[in-house]
A and B are shown apart, each in its own frame.
Chain A
Amino acid sequence: MSAILPPSERLWWKHPLDRVEGTWIVISLIWCLVMFAMMIGWHVYGRQNLSTETYRTTPELFTKKTQAMVDQYTVRTETDAKIPVVAPPAGSDIYLIARLWAFWPILELEKDKTYRLHLTAMDYNHGFSLQPANINIQVVPGFEHVVTVTPNKAGTFSIVCNEFCGINHHTMVSRLYVK
């Protein structure tokens, strides 16, 4: 007569359902299907979908590409570490290195313009957490992730590393400008 005893009716699977249960199952199933359709629908109609374009890469290869961008488009340097601020043209491929414990270089983008942002980690896993927009992407070593981004607000943004990467993890924070 209870959940801790064997079912009193041997043929319990023939037992009719109560309407409370039947109704709830139908409602829940519909809601589950709505949520499933929502994810697919957002790929069709929504504007925020994470790209899956990925290439294998090595620190040397990725550094070379990043360095080429820095050499061509640096507009100034910032902080004592003289981190280059790079303003590549709209629509171009832009590169961001995550390594212990810094992002390099600083990117300066234009509002409402689209860029192909290439992300990789040189050593451990890192996190790309764009604040205060609050966009969070995992950065995995060995993989070059190409994300198409379109900033919709001007201002100074911060990139916070939000994947634990060692003792100075909390100092791994950088900027990104949108004009």
Chain B
Amino acid sequence: MTATTYRTCPRSGLQFESQAEKLMMVNAVTAVVVLLVGGILAIGVVLTRWPAVHWLAADTFYMVLTAHGIDMLIFWIIFFEVAVLYFCSSTLLRCRLATPKIAWLAYALMLIGAVTNNVAVFQGGSSVMMTSYVPMMAAPAFYLGLILFAVGALIACFVFFGTLVIARRDRTYQGSVPLVTFGAITAAIIAVFTITSGAIILIPTFLLSVGVIQSIDALVYRTIWWAFGHSSQQINVAAHISIWYAVAAIAFGAKPMSERVSRGAFLLYILFLQLASAHHLLADPGLSTGWKVVNTSYFMYFAVLASMIHGLTIPGAIEVAQRRKGFNNGLFEWLRKAPWGNPVFSGMFIALIGFGFLGGISGVMMGTEQLNMIIHNTIYVPGHFHATVVVGTTLSFMALTYFLIPVLFRREMINPGLAKWQPYLFGLSMYFFCLVMMGAGTLGVSRRHWDMAFSGSAMAYEWPGAAYLLMGLLGISGIASIAGGAIYIYITVGSVLWGRRLDEGARNPTFTPIPRTAPTLVAQTYGSAGFAAPGTFVLAMVFLVSFILYYFINWKYLSQVWGLS
């Protein structure tokens, strides 16, 4: 075994193994660099879709949109997730990282893959969007880059699993893994499924692009590609929900209301979340109604059930922790007295509310077989996934970064006053951005479309004035959220480069196991028959009522369109 050291962080009590620590830093920093690239590209996308500005030429726009999609949805998020996986295994379980050299190999493959893919896109011949539907072809390097990245990410997942084995073998903890690690295991299992699906479809597509095979069926491609494309976003769901539990624990010392319920909900994700790739195929020919209904609903909405459970138990756990501290007045004192000035908490909470109300509800609408017909490929779709992936995942990662800067990077955050405001600017402008996209999508405006005025066409369609207004608001709110993203990058990069160095804490050649925590009196009586989180329950009912109303409004809307059978 190679010699390594373990550092106990004096600010958090967390123990970092030196190899794992370096890998986490490198993966997280790379992720932020990719976010910067994707953010710059976002300026081009937003300023072109803003009808009054209509900035880029069509070919540049489609190239920029392709790169923005892949950099944000795949590279930024998965680089960060690898750091999260190493954190949830090595750091939370206080063990060494398995096979650090192979973990470096994984990183190298991911980096080479990401760069190769980006170079292919920016050469201009691969403006095929993230989905790259055959028979539209990109350059071979486009697929090769994605395949290399996927192989690297798959290796990183197995390093994570190996680390879990080491922790168990070295007895660094007793009993079950922490809930957050359990959530990370969920994410990693989903990642293995996702990446395998990606390989199954991208390898033949690469062979097609170099001429080894002659054709790939367009519908088979769509079906398998979405098992990669949608599932990659399900990794995020499992990862950012784990982060929410972690933030609740870090900021409040909150304990899960019930381990059984929260873990059961993660288990539902493992079992059912992958079926959701059917969401993208509901408007397709060739697939049977039964297949569509069963898959799109995650087999009777069991994964929606899981998300609704997490949506209650995380704020519920915070409420219980706050009430124990004495914030017991009324229904909502616990929430009013929460640390709203701490970006770790505010970022996480804005992400949670936005993910549920905007991303979750809109996702179920699009994923309803018939309702999909009034939404498919409209700009409602990016409205939905910016609410899940940007408000949900990206903002959660930002919140976690504010915690990691002093703890992992051992730097004092520069400009904490600005950091305090960043989640509000980024999160709330993103809320608005998603809402106006959903509004424009409801009016039918297409996604991935360079010119809503159809210039150069003899039969141009005139969108309603409201659609133009909404697309203008999209431009304004998009620029506001890009500014919010820029502040995040300034603070993180600035802190890591020139923030004041903090005490790194004691280093030991061996790990210190997690001490056994005796069940406390509170733990024994807690939750047995009470109604421990009434405020959260009220918020959950508000969510449910909005959900039900909006669901039936959409059915009403559908019932008015042409008869189709």
Residues of A bordering B, CB below 8 Å = 1-10, 12-13, 15-21, 23-25, 27-29, 31-33, 35-36, 38-40, 42-43, 46-52, 54, 78-81, 114, 119, 123-125, 127, 129-138, 140-145, 147-153, 158, 160-175
Instruction: Known A-B contacts: A39-B368, A52-B285, A143-B285. Give 7 more (CB < 8 A).
Output: A10-B176, A15-B527, A24-B309, A124-B135, A131-B444, A137-B376, A170-B456
- Top 10 nearest A-B pairs by Cβ distance? A145-B285, A150-B563, A32-B301, A158-B461, A2-B249, A162-B446, A18-B527, A12-B259, A136-B376, A3-B245
Question: What 0/1 readout, one digit per residue, does chain B (56-93) give for beta carbons within 8 Å of chain A?
Answer: 00110010000000000000000000000000000010
A18 touching B222 by the CB < 8 A rule?
no
The complex places the Cα of A143 from the Cα of B463 at a distance, in Å, of 30
Segment touching A, from B196-204, B430-438, B532-540: B532-540
B529 touching A129 by the CB < 8 A rule?
no
The complex places the Cα of A172 from the Cα of B446 at a distance, in Å, of 12
Known A38-B555, A138-B283, A170-B454: A43·B564 in contact at CB below 8 Å: no
B284 touching A138 by the CB < 8 A rule?
yes
For residue B20, CB closer than 8 A to chain A, the reply is no
Nearest CB on B from A23, distance (A): 7
The complex places the Cα of A9 from the Cα of B174 at a distance, in Å, of 10
Q: Determine which of B286, B533, B562 lies in contact with A48 in the assembled complex, contact meaning CB atoms within 8 Å.
A: B562
User: Which of A18, A135, A138, A171 has the largest number of chain B CB atoms within 10 A?
Assistant: A18
The complex places the Cα of A17 from the Cα of B282 at a distance, in Å, of 38
The complex places the Cα of A10 from the Cα of B518 at a distance, in Å, of 10
Q: Which residue of B lies closest to A56 (CB)?
A: B286
Q: Determine which of B289, B305, B563 lies in contact with A43 in the assembled complex, contact meaning CB atoms within 8 Å.
A: B289
A residues within 8 A CB of B293? 36, 39-40
B258 touching A21 by the CB < 8 A rule?
yes
Segment touching A, from B25-33, B230-238, B311-319, B342-350: B311-319
A20 touching B559 by the CB < 8 A rule?
no
The complex places the Cα of A23 from the Cα of B167 at a distance, in Å, of 37
The complex places the Cα of A143 from the Cα of B220 at a distance, in Å, of 11
B377 touching A129 by the CB < 8 A rule?
yes
A residues within 8 A CB of B547? 31
Q: Determine which of A50, A119, A131 lies in contact with B370 in the assembled complex, contact meaning CB atoms within 8 Å.
A: A50
B residues within 8 A CB of A54? 285-286
Known A54-B285, A164-B448: A35·B368 in contact at CB below 8 Å: yes
Q: Determine which of A5, A29, A43 lies in contact with B517 in the assembled complex, contact meaning CB atoms within 8 Å.
A: A5
A3 touching B256 by the CB < 8 A rule?
yes
B517 touching A46 by the CB < 8 A rule?
no
The complex places the Cα of A170 from the Cα of B455 at a distance, in Å, of 8
B residues within 8 A CB of A43? 289
16 A-B residue pairs with CB within 8 Å:
A2-B178, A2-B249, A3-B245, A3-B254, A6-B178, A9-B524, A10-B175, A18-B527, A24-B312, A39-B296, A39-B368, A132-B444, A150-B563, A161-B446, A171-B455, A173-B459
B561 touching A135 by the CB < 8 A rule?
yes
B312 touching A20 by the CB < 8 A rule?
yes
A143 touching B373 by the CB < 8 A rule?
no
B residues within 8 A CB of A16? 527-529
Q: Determine which of A138, A145, A151, A153 lies in contact with B377 in the assembled complex, contact meaning CB atoms within 8 Å.
A: A138
Q: Which residue of A lies closest to B379 (CB)?
A: A162
Known A18-B258, A167-B58: A1·B373 in contact at CB below 8 Å: no
Known A36-B300, A170-B454: A50·B261 in contact at CB below 8 Å: no
Nearest CB on A from B128, distance (A): 8
B518 touching A8 by the CB < 8 A rule?
yes
B residues within 8 A CB of A32? 300-302, 304-305
A24 touching B443 by the CB < 8 A rule?
no
Interface residues of B in 164-178 (CB under 8 A from A): 173-178
B246 touching A3 by the CB < 8 A rule?
yes
Interface residues of B in 246-273 (CB under 8 A from A): 246, 248-250, 253-262
A residues within 8 A CB of B395? none
B523 touching A1 by the CB < 8 A rule?
yes
Q: Which residue of B lies closest to A22 (CB)?
A: B261
The complex places the Cα of A47 from the Cα of B565 at a distance, in Å, of 7
Nearest CB on A from B262, distance (A): 8
For residue B330, CB closer than 8 A to chain A, the reply is no
Known A3-B254, A7-B175, A129-B446: A170·B373 in contact at CB below 8 Å: no
Known A17-B260, A40-B293, A81-B458: A1·B530 in contact at CB below 8 Å: no
The complex places the Cα of A25 from the Cα of B528 at a distance, in Å, of 16
A133 touching B249 by the CB < 8 A rule?
no
B residues within 8 A CB of A167? 58-59, 62
A166 touching B136 by the CB < 8 A rule?
yes
For residue B180, CB closer than 8 A to chain A, the reply is yes
For residue B420, CB closer than 8 A to chain A, the reply is no
The complex places the Cα of A1 from the Cα of B459 at a distance, in Å, of 65
A18 touching B175 by the CB < 8 A rule?
no
Known A12-B259, A21-B258, A173-B460: A48·B563 in contact at CB below 8 Å: yes
Known A79-B459, A160-B461, A170-B455: A4·B564 in contact at CB below 8 Å: no
B residues within 8 A CB of A138? 281, 283-285, 376-377
A152 touching B563 by the CB < 8 A rule?
yes
Q: Which residue of B lies closest to A159 (CB)?
A: B461
B454 touching A12 by the CB < 8 A rule?
no
Q: Determine which of A24, A35, A141 lies in contact with B537 in the assembled complex, contact meaning CB atoms within 8 Å.
A: A24
For residue B287, CB closer than 8 A to chain A, the reply is yes
B residues within 8 A CB of A15? 258-260, 527
The complex places the Cα of A79 from the Cα of B456 at a distance, in Å, of 13
B residues within 8 A CB of A165? 136
The complex places the Cα of A14 from the Cα of B458 at a distance, in Å, of 69
B564 touching A125 by the CB < 8 A rule?
no
B373 touching A136 by the CB < 8 A rule?
yes
Nearest CB on A from B402, distance (A): 16
Q: Which residue of A lies closest to B517 (CB)?
A: A8
B58 touching A170 by the CB < 8 A rule?
yes
For residue B378, CB closer than 8 A to chain A, the reply is yes
A residues within 8 A CB of B175? 6-7, 10
The complex places the Cα of A33 from the Cα of B515 at a distance, in Å, of 43
